[in-house]
Amino acid sequence: MVKSVCLSPSLLSADFADLRSAVQKIEESRCKFIHFDVMDGHFVPQISYGQPVLKSVRAITGAALDVHLMVEKPELMVDSFIDAGADFITFHLESTVHSNRLIQMIHDRGKKAGISIVPSTPVSALSEVLADVDLVLVMTVNPGFGGQKLIPSCVEKIRLLDELRKKNGCKYLVSVDGGINNSTVSSVVDAGADVVVSGSAFFSGEFKWDY
């Protein structure tokens, strides 16, 4: 059986003055996911957008909205982003003490729970939650800025997560975000990624998606 891999364009790289056209471009590319980066200026240096923008995007698309919370204390924002239309809530292991509690909170609201790690965090740090999450997002750049180059050593994390789910019977998707373009996409897909996030390369029209 040929494995299905999904492209998840990141709205962070879209033209904010015309998000409707950006969403239309995503749907015309038959993408099943839209990546929605939320940055608070504390966990990462930049500030992006929030719940009102998500609500507007939700109203014009049926694609799954994966809200990537690059914020401190994500547990304080989960309910409001779910109310605004999130399908997945992906938070950073490094951003909260009680990851298990937060995963349960997301599941109790009937949504999918994702967890992400920055390049300096090893996969082993996720050992206690892998059986409970629906998605693991591997950051292959340091989060907070678009247009960065992929850190090659992070690709091995994708391979390890794929091996662990097969070994332990876990059902999580492996997602990857950061520096994905025509030169790097094959390496992350070959390593076992199920969801590939692309921002700058996708919206510039340079990215060729053949999966």
Q: Which residues are catalytic?
A: 37, 177
What is the C-alpha to C-alpha distance for residues 182 and 25, in angstroms, rounded to an integer? 18
What is the C-alpha to C-alpha distance for residues 148 and 165, in angstroms, rounded to an integer? 29
**C-alpha closest to that of 72 among 49, 90, 94, 103:** 94
Cβ(62)–Cβ(85) below 8 Å: no
Residues in the chain: 211
Q: Are strands 6-9 and 173-177 parallel, antiparallel or unpaired?
A: unpaired
* The residue type at 26: I
DSSP code, position 121: S
203 membership: H or E segment, kind and range? helix 200-204
Helices (H) and strands (E) in the chain, counts: 7, 8
What is the C-alpha to C-alpha distance for residues 95 and 98, in angstroms, rounded to an integer? 9
Residue bearing tokens 């998707």: 173
